[in-house]
Amino acid sequence: MPLIASRIASANSATSDFPLNNLPFGVISTAGSPPRCAVAIGDFALDLAALEADGRLDAGAPVFAADRLNPFMALGPAAWARVREQLTTLLAEGAETPIDDALVPLDAVTHHLPFAVSEYTDFYASKMHASNVGTMFRGPENALPPNWLHIPIGYNGRASSVVVSGTDIHRPLGQRKPPDAAAPTFGPSLRMDIELELGAVVGVASPWGAPITVEEADAMIFGYVLLNDWSSRDIQAWEYVPLGPFQGKAFGTTISPWVVTRAALEPFRAPLPPREVPELPYLHQAAPGLYDIHLEVAMEPPGADRETIISRTNYREMYYSSAQQLAHHAVGGCGMRVGDLLGSGTISGPTRGEHGSLLEISWGGKEPFALDTGETRSFIEDGDRLTLRGHCEGEGYRIGFGEATGRILPAVANRWA
Amino acid sequence: MPLIASRIASANSATSDFPLNNLPFGVISTAGSPPRCAVAIGDFALDLAALEADGRLDAGAPVFAADRLNPFMALGPAAWARVREQLTTLLAEGAETPIDDALVPLDAVTHHLPFAVSEYTDFYASKMHASNVGTMFRGPENALPPNWLHIPIGYNGRASSVVVSGTDIHRPLGQRKPPDAAAPTFGPSLRMDIELELGAVVGVASPWGAPITVEEADAMIFGYVLLNDWSSRDIQAWEYVPLGPFQGKAFGTTISPWVVTRAALEPFRAPLPPREVPELPYLHQAAPGLYDIHLEVAMEPPGADRETIISRTNYREMYYSSAQQLAHHAVGGCGMRVGDLLGSGTISGPTRGEHGSLLEISWGGKEPFALDTGETRSFIEDGDRLTLRGHCEGEGYRIGFGEATGRILPAVANRWA
C-alpha cells in the first residue's frame, strides 16, 4: 500500500510518524482546555471532540469528549472502521470540510494516558531474551524453562503504575540482597533497567468463563503502543522465587501516547517463527501473527547534548504473538476487559546490539557499555533518559509509534533510614 | 466490649453473624429493584439507599444508591465513622426512627460483588502453608524460600475474575503436564483446589510514588472479606516457573458478600508472632497486626444432604498482617487505589485439620480424606460445593463474615478437542 496523500502537508513526508495511513489515537489537552481524544496527523493532533461536537465526525455515539479512549474502544470494531474511514476522508488531499479549528500543533499539546488501563499483564515471549535472562538468573543449563516453548508465559502486573510517555519515575526503594550478603537491606534499587516491549490494547471484552480462539483474540485488539516495563533487577532477583516479579516491576511502566491501530499495522504482518515443539491447537495462529516493526532504544545521560542508540531490534523477533497471549490469557475462563494492556515481553534480537534490556546489553552488569558522550553504563543512573521508538517502513511512508520516554529520578526520601 | 442491643431481635442472638456491633457493608438487590448498598443486621439487610433518600442517613454525599461501595469508601475514614455512628443510633434498642421500609429479609436478597475490584493482589503469608506447599513443590530442603521470613511475598492476581459468594465456577481448561509426561496436554484441570484466605479491602488511595508506613497502611483498610482463591494445582505447577501463578489462579476468586469493617474487628486484634529474623524497619508494626478470627471450610459433594467441615483454623496463624502487606506493596512507589483487594494468603494451622487448602489436607493428593457422606476426596470433583465461614467470638455476640461459597461445575466445551 502506498502513502495516502493528506491535505496536511507534514503528513506526506516519508519520515513522519503520522501519515494519513496511520491515524493513531490518543488523549491530549492544551492550556486551559480539558483532556479529549485526538488522532495524530503529520505535525498536528486533530481534536476529535471538536469534530464530533458539530457532526463532522460520528462514531455512532458521543465518545470523544472524554479523557480516555475506553468509551470509543467499547463501541467495537465496526465503529473503529467507520471512524477511520471518516477521518481518512476528512484528511485526504483535496478534502474541503473545514478542520483548521481542530488542529493543534503537536508541540503545543500535553499527552495523557490514552486509555484507562483495566488490568496490565506482561509476557515473556522473546526466545532470545528468555534465554539470556535465564542464563544469568539460573545458569545456562536452565536458561529456557521447560514450559517456555509450550506456553506464552505471563504474569499479572500493576495497572495503577502505568504512565504516559514523558512521566519521570523515581528509583524505587525496596529490599535487595547481594548473593554474598547474609541478609537483605532496604534502600534505593541499584540495578535499574528497562524492558523494550510492545503493548497490545484490548478493545473488545470477552465474558468471564468463555475461552476464545487466537483468531477471536486478534480481532479483540484495538491497537498497540510502545511499552517500557521499567525493572529493578536487584529487587526482582531477591523477591521473584517462587511467585514471580512484584515490587521489582511495580513502580512504573511507560507507554507511548498514541495507540497505533491494528488496521494501520495490517500491511506489515509478519510470520511467527516455526514452532520447535508440537503446538497445542488452542495456540495455533494461521495468519501471520507478528508485525515488522523496527524498534530502537536511546539513552541520554543528564546534561548530555546527545543521545546514544543502545539497541536496534524488531518485533518480528518474538516467538508468541499478542493474539496467542490473549487467547492463552482467556482460555481458563478469565474475562478480558476493554482497556486491558498486554505487554509483549522484552524484545531482543540475537546480538548484543539488538537486546531489549540493559541486563542483556551489559550482561548482568559485567560488561559496561559506552555512550557517545564517553560515559559508560551497566544500569540506569539518576537523571538518565531512556526513550523507545518504533515504526513500520512502508512504500514512501512509515507507520510510527512516536516515542515512550522517561527519566529515572533519585529515590524519594527513605522514611525508615 | 459486650453486645450492643438492637431493635432488630434477631441481631441480639449470640449466634447471629450480624449483631449491631458488626454492621458489615454490601450490595444487594431484590426482585424488580436495582442493586444498592446495604448493611446486614440480624436476619435482615438494611437498605442504605432508602435511608439516604430522605435524610435518615447522611454520609456527607449521596453514595448509597450505587451498585458498589467504592463511592462510599472513597469518602474516607471520617465518613465511615459518621455512618457507623448514625446506623448504631438508628438500629439501637429503643430507637424510634421508622426503618421498616428499609428492612429486607436476608433470604430475599440477591448479593452482588460489594465493590468494584480495582486490582487484586494475593500474598503468601502463613508460614505453615508456605512450608507445606514448598515441601510438596520443591522438596523439604527448599520448603521455605530464603526470602520468606524477610518479605511478605505477593503477586498480582486478576481482578476481573473476582466474583461474589454463590457464583458457580467452571473447572478451567489449560495446559498441564504430569512430571513423567514428555509434553503437556490441554484439557480440564484435574487438581482443583481452594485457598482459605482473608481479603483486605483498600478504602483510601495512596499516590503513585509515595511509600507509606505500616500504620498508614492499616488506616487505609476499610474492611475485610472471606476470600477463596480457587486454584488449579496442575495448571499452576506447569506454568509457575519462573514468573509465578497465572492461569492456575485466573478463573475465579470468590469473596463473601459483606465487608466487615476494620472498626467492627478492632476489639479482636491479635499479636503477630515473634519475628524469626531481624525485621526491616519499613515492615515493623507496633500494634497487634492480626485478628482473632475463627475460620472453617465446609465441603459438600453433589446430591449430599450434609456438608463436612474439612478444616478449622484462625487468622491468628499468619506471619504477616494485611497492613504489612499493603505497606510492602506501596514501598516502591506503586499507587494504591480505592477498591484494591489484598488476599492474605492461604491460612493454615499446624495440623492436617487446620490446613487451608486441599493440597495440604490430602498432602498433594497422596492421602485422600473422608467426607461424612462416606465419599473420599483428594481434590475437588464436579458439583462439589466449598464454603468458607468466619467469625470473631465476643462476649455474648459474634462478628461474623457470613460465608463465601461456590460450586465447581464441569469444564466448558473444549473448542479444540
Q: pLDDT tens digit string along A109-122?
A: 999 999 999 999 99
SS3 string of chain A?
CECCCECCHHHHCCCCCCCCCCCCEEEEECCCCCCEEEEEECCEEEEHHHHHHCCCCCCCCCCCCCCCCHHHHHCCHHHHHHHHHHHHHHHECCCCCCCHHHEEEHHHCEEECCCCCCCEEEECCCHHHHHHHHHHHHCHHHCCCCCCCCCCCEEECCHHHEEECCCCEECCEEEECCCCCCCCEEEECCCEECCEEEEEEECCCECCCCCCCHHHHHHHEEEEEEEECCEEHHHHHHHCCCCCCCHHHCCCEEECCCEEEHHHHHHHEECCCCCCCCCCHHHCCCCCCEECCEEEEEEECCCCCCCEEEEEEEHHHCCCCHHHHHHHHHCCCCCECCCCEEECCCCCCCCHHHCCCHHHHCCCCCCCEECCCCCEECCCCCCCEEEEEEEEECECCEEEEEEEEEEEECCCCCCCC
Question: Cell triple for residue A261?
Answer: 491501530
- Using DSSP bridges, classify how beta strands A385-393 and A253-255 pair: parallel, antiparallel or unpaired: unpaired
B378: how many CB neighbours lie within 10 A of its CB? 18
Q: Is the pLDDT of residue A231 over 90?
A: yes
pLDDT band of A236, cuts 50, 70, 90: very high
- Give the pairing of strands A253-255 and A162-164: parallel
Which segments of A are annotated as binding site for Ca(2+)? 122, 195, 197, 229
Q: Which of A64, A94, A112 is the last residue of a domain?
A: A112
Contact B244 A247 (CB under 8 A): no
B129 part of the active site? yes
How far apart are alpha carbons B332 and A252 in whole angstroms? 9
**Which residues in chain A touch residue B327, judged by CB atoms under 8 angstroms apart?**
none
Fill in the amino acid letter for B217. Answer: A
Same domain, A290 and A351: yes
Q: Do B184 and A158 touch (CB under 8 A)?
A: no
pLDDT reading at A344 higher than 90: yes
B145 contact partners, CB below 8 Å, separation of at least 6: A241, A242, B130, B134, B153
- Residue in A closest to B172 by C-alpha: A332
Clarify whether residues A135 and A101 are in a common domain.
Answer: no
* b/e map B57-91, b = 16+ CB within 10 Å: bebeeebbbbbbbbbbbbbbbebbeebbebbeebb
Residue of B nearest to A150 (CA): B184
First to last CA, chain B: 60
Residue B288 is which amino acid? P
Residue A337 to residue A93: CA distance in whole angstroms = 37
Asked if residue B417 belongs to a domain, the reply is: no
Which of A91, A112, A133 is a domain's end point?
A112
**Contact A1/A21 with Cβ under 8 angstroms?**
yes
Calculate how close chain A gets to B204, using CA atoms only, in Å. 14
* Chain B residues within an 8 Å CB radius of A280: 175, 184-186, 416
CATH number of the domain encompassing residue B131: 3.90.850.10
> Which residue in A has a C-alpha nearest to residue B188's C-alpha?
A332
Residue keyed to cell 457422606: B373
Alpha carbon dihedral B212, B218, B221, B227, in 10-degree steps, equals 110
**Least CB-CB distance to B174: which of A124, A331, A336?**
A331
In a domain, B416, yes or no: no
ipTM of the complex: 0.97
Dist CA B342 CA B81 (whole Å)? 22
Interchain pair A332, B157: CB under 8 A: no
Please indicate, yes or no, whether residues B139 and B278 belong to a single structural domain of this protein. yes
Which positions in chain B touch A251 (Cβ < 8 Å)? 209, 332-334
Q: What's the rounded Cα separation, in Å, for the pair B72 and B363?
A: 43
Say yes or no: A53 and A164 in one domain. Answer: no
Q: How many CB atoms lie within 10 A of CB B309?
A: 13
Beta strands in B31-144 (DSSP E): 33-41, 44-47, 103-105, 110-112, 120-123
Mean pLDDT of A224-250: 97
The reply to whether residue B246 touches residue A174, judged by beta carbons under 8 angstroms, is no
Look up residue B235 and give its amino acid.
Answer: I
User: Which portions of chain B are predicted below pLDDT 50?
Assistant: none
pLDDT greater than 90 at residue A1: no
> In angstroms, what separates the C-alpha of A89 from chain B's closest C-alpha?
39
How many CB contacts within 8 angstroms connect chain A with chain B?
212
- Cα Rg of chain A, angstroms: 21
User: What are the residues whose beta carbons fall under 8 Å from the beta carbon of A19, sequence distance 6 or more?
Assistant: A3, A4, A6, A11, A12, A13, A41, A42, A397, A398, A399
Q: In the listed set B84, B112, B140, which residue is the last one of a domain according to the structure?
A: B112
Given a contact cutoff of 8 angstroms between Cβ atoms, the answer to whether B392 and B269 are in contact is: no
Whether A240 and B239 lie within 8 Å, measured CB to CB: no
Q: pLDDT band for position A142 (50/70/90)?
A: confident
Among A131, A135, A136, A158, the residue to mutate for chain B (most B Cβ within 10 A): A158
- Selected catalytic residue, list A111, A129, A328, A355: A129
Say whether A160 and B243 touch across the interface (CB within 8 A). no
Q: Is the pLDDT of residue A138 over 90?
A: no
Quote the cell numbers at residue A76.
467495537
Residue A286 lies in a domain: yes
Do A334 and B415 make contact, defined as CB atoms within 8 angstroms? no
Residues B183 and B249 in one domain: yes
* End-to-end Cα distance, chain A: 60
Question: Max CA-CA distance within chain A?
Answer: 72
Q: Please list every residue in chain A whose beta carbon sits closer than 8 Å to the beta carbon of residue B159.
A: 119
CA distance A378 to A138: 20
Residues A128 and A108 in one domain: no
* Count of beta carbons in the 10 Å neighbourhood of residue A55: 7
**How far apart are the CA of A236 and the nearest CA of chain B, in angstroms?**
11
| Cross-chain CB nearest to A246 (options B155, B158, B280) | B155
Number of domains within chain A: 2
Whether the CB-CB separation of A321 and A221 falls below 8 Å is answered with: no
Task: List CB contacts of B279: < 8 A, sequence separation 6 or more.
Answer: none
Q: Which of A154, A157, A282 sits opposite B186 (nearest CB)?
A: A282
Question: Who contacts A318 (Cβ-Cβ below 8 Å, separation ≥6)?
Answer: A125, A126, A272, A290, A344, A345, A347
Q: Are strands A25-29 and A110-112 parallel, antiparallel or unpaired?
A: antiparallel
pLDDT of residue A358: 98
Kindly state whether residues A205 and A96 are assigned to the same domain.
no
**Contact: A242, B157; criterion CB under 8 Å:** no
Distance in angstroms (rounded) separating the CA atoms of residues B159 and A76: 23
Q: What angle do CA A203, A205, A207 make, to 5 degrees?
A: 170
Give me the pLDDT at residue A270, please: 98
Q: Is residue B49 part of a domain?
A: yes
> Is residue B2 situated within a structural domain?
no
pLDDT at A19: 98
Q: Are strands A253-255 and A221-228 parallel, antiparallel or unpaired?
A: antiparallel
Q: Do B280 and A238 touch (CB under 8 A)?
A: no
Give residue A278's Cα distance to chain centre.
30
Q: Which domain holds residue B213?
A: 120-409
CB contacts, 8 Å: A235 with chain B = 332
**Interchain CB distance below 8 Å, A209 and B412:** yes
A332 Cβ neighbours under 8 A, 6+ residues apart: A211, B172, B173, B174, B232, B235, B247, B250, B251
Examine residue B4 and state whether it is found in any structural domain, yes or no. no
Identify whether A253 is part of a domain: yes
pLDDT, average across residues A352-370: 96
CA distance A92 to chain B (A): 41
Q: How many residues does chain B have?
A: 417
Cβ proximity of A137 and A197 under 8 Å: no
As a whole number of angstroms, the distance between CA A263 and CA B299 comes to: 51
As given in the structure block, the three cell numbers for residue B72 are 462510599
Per-residue pLDDT, B209: 96
Q: What is the pLDDT of residues B77-119, one digit of tens each?
A: 999 999 999 999 999 999 999 999 999 999 999 999 999 999 9
Scan for cell 475437588, then name that residue. Answer: B380
Q: Are residues A105 and A250 in the same domain?
A: no
CA distances from B131 to A115, B76, B119, B121, B181 (A): 42, 38, 27, 21, 27
User: In chain B, what residues touch A412 (CB-CB under 8 Å)?
Assistant: 209-211, 333
Q: Which residues contact B110 (CB under 8 A, 6 or more apart)?
A: B28, B29, B30
Kindly provide the b/e burial profile for residues A200-233, where b requires at least 16 CB atoms within 10 angstroms of the residue's own CB: bbbbbbbebbbbbbbebbbebbbbbbbbbbbbbb
Q: Is B305 annotated as a binding residue?
A: no
Mean pLDDT for chain A overall: 97
Asked whether residue B128 is assigned to any structural domain, the reply reads yes
Let me know whether B32 and B156 are in one domain.
Answer: no
User: Which run of H or of E encompasses B71?
Assistant: helix B70-74
Helix, strand or coil, per DSSP, at residue B87? helix
Angle at B400 between CA B91 and CA B93, to 5 degrees: 20
**B346: annotated binding-site residue?**
yes
Q: Does the annotation flag B393 for ligand binding?
A: no
Contact B114, B164 (CB under 8 A): yes
Q: Is the pLDDT of residue A69 over 90?
A: yes
For B1-24, letters b (16+ CB in 10 Å) and e give eebbbbbbeebbbeebbbbbbbbb
Indicate if the pLDDT at residue A284 is higher than 90: yes
B294 and B404 share a domain? yes
Distance from CA of A43 to the nearest CA of B (A): 32
Beta-carbon count within 10 A of B253 CB: 29
| Residues A332 and A384 both lie in one domain | yes
Q: Are residue B45 and residue B139 in the same domain, yes or no?
A: no
